[in-house]
């Protein structure tokens, strides 16, 4: 079974529809025929300003959502990044073979740092984020890394670093393939449909959160930005707002977009929005019930995470030992 690895940051109270339709839904499917590792990167979550009082709860909440969405701890490894200290240890080594210019070219850093307002608020951690991400991946020697289009550049860097390490010091790292998943949808911000829906960058009204009251989501969908035409047609260039709504509708119902276009021929945007709100409610109602069940049993959640961290450390520890040996560190006795 090929190994895969992926993660989702605990940067909000709730995941959003983009996280599910663009990533987690595919992770659930991959469990069947892959040796899958999924983790909550809390180390990454502190690269931008965060609230220490809520981080642990958000991390738990993230794990509960992953379980409620269908990750099964008997069929995959689920863990929290900070529970496995090898992540930061390998990051140091990789940082020492990463060029400053190379790291400076990462577009996510440019985007996220621009949003911090002043240079003084941009942390070195945000700058080295992609190197930590490379470490997250390479520790587990996965053949494939399922990520959305927004992460492609970071996976490219990860491949470059693995190849560089192997050719300079001898082979210790698997060079992973990015795995842009078929059927993964890219979901846009409801208020700014030319930008992706994002936990940390979108305004609250632009995000459909999985844990929101469906009434709140219905209101957000009702106020989603569309265009001045009347026609319900899928055309992401000319009609990004309407196309985004169709994408979400299609992904949640497994119905073809062309089928939806036919069904809504002659109807208005209001009809589409109202029906989409119902579709979203049908999805989140039972989901929220399952999330509550997991959160109500913290001992069980802890057991899942302890088991996951133990399995993760086994694999990560072996990789780190090989890396340290190749790079020439004196082994501890």
Q: Could you tell me the CA-to-CA distances from 152 to 125, 176, 298 in Å, in that order? A: 20, 12, 35
139 exposure class (CB count in 10 Å sphere: 0-12, 13-18, 19+): buried
Residue range at the interface with ligand ATP (CB under 6 A); choices 15-23, 84-92, 214-222, 253-261:
15-23
Instruction: Exactly one of 53, 110, 112, 274 is catalytic; name it.
Output: 112
Residue 81 carries which DSSP code? Answer: G
197 is in an annotated binding site: yes
Give the torsion through C-alpha atoms of 255, 261, 267, 268, to 10 deg.
Answer: 90
Residue of 11, 47, 82, 133 that binds ligand ATP (CB under 6 A): 11
Burial 278-313 (b: 16+ CB within 10 A, else e): ebbeebbeebbeebeebbeeeeebeebbeebbebbb
Known catalytic residue at 199: yes
Residue of 19, 217, 250, 319 that binds ligand ATP (CB under 6 A): 19
- Compose the 127-166 pattern: x for residues touching ligand ATP by CB under 6 A, - for all others: --------------------xx-xx---------------
CB 319 within 8 A of CB 172: yes
The minimum distance between CB 109 and ligand ATP, in angstroms, equals 12
Known catalytic residue at 110: no
166 is in an annotated binding site: no
297 is in an annotated binding site: no
Give the count of alpha carbons within 13 A of 250, CB side only.
Answer: 23
Known catalytic residue at 171: no
135 is in an annotated binding site: no
Q: In the range 70-129, which residues lie near ligand ATP by CB under 6 A? A: none
Q: In the range 180-219, which residues lie near ligand ATP by CB under 6 A? A: 186-187, 196-201
Instruction: Exactly one of 171, 186, 199, 326 is catalytic; name it.
Output: 199
CB 18 within 8 A of CB 190: no
Q: Could you tell me the CA-to-CA distances from 34 to 21, 162, 315 in Å, in that order? A: 19, 22, 16
The minimum distance between CB 322 and ligand ATP, in angstroms, equals 27
Instruction: Exactly one of 110, 186, 196, 220 is catalytic; name it.
Output: 196
Give the integer Cα–Cα distance in Å for 60 and 226.
Answer: 36
The minimum distance between CB 153 and ligand ATP, in angstroms, equals 12
- The annotation places the binding site at 9-11, 18-19, 136, 148-150, 187, 196-200
Catalytic residues: 112, 196, 199
Residues flagged as binding site for L-tryptophan: 136
Q: Which residues bind ligand ATP (CB under 6 A)?
A: 6, 8-9, 11, 18-19, 22-23, 147-148, 150-151, 186-187, 196-201
């Amino acid at each position: 079974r090929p190994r895969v690895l992926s993660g989702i940051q605990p940067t909000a109270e709730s995941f959003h529809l983009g996280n599910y339709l663009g990533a987690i839904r595919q992770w659930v499917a991959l469990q069947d025929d892959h040796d899958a590792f999924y983790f909550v990167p809390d180390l990454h979550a502190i690269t931008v300003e965060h609230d220490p009082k809520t981080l642990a709860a958000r991390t738990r909440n993230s794990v509960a959502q992953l379980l409620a969405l269908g990750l099964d701890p008997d069929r995959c490894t689920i863990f929290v990044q900070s529970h496995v200290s090898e992540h930061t240890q390998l990051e140091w080594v990789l940082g020492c073979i990463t060029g400053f210019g190379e790291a400076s070219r990462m577009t996510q850093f440019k985007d996220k740092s621009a949003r911090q307002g002043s240079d003084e608020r941009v942390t070195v951690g945000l700058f080295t984020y992609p190197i930590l991400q490379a470490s997250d991946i390479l520790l587990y020697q996965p053949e494939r890394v399922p990520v959305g289009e927004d992460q492609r550049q970071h996976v490219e860097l990860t491949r470059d670093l693995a190849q560089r390490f192997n050719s300079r010091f001898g082979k210790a790292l698997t060079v992973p393939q990015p795995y842009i998943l078929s059927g993964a949808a890219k979901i846009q911000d409801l208020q700014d449909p030319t930008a992706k829906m994002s936990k940390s960058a979108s305004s609250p009204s632009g995000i459909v959160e999985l844990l929101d009251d469906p009434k709140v989501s219905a209101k957000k969908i009702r106020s989603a930005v569309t265009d001045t035409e009347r026609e319900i047609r899928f055309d992401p260039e000319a009609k990004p707002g309407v196309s985004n709504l169709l994408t979400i509708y299609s992904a949640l119902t497994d119905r073809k977009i062309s089928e939806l276009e036919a069904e809504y021929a002659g109807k208005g945007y209001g009809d589409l929005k109202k029906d989409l709100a119902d579709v979203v409610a049908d999805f989140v109602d039972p989901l929220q019930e399952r999330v509550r069940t997991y959160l109500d049993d913290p001992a069980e959640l802890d057991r899942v995470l302890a088991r996951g961290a133990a399995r993760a450390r086994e694999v990560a520890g072996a990789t780190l030992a090989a890396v340290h040996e190749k790079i020439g560190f004196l082994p501890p006795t």
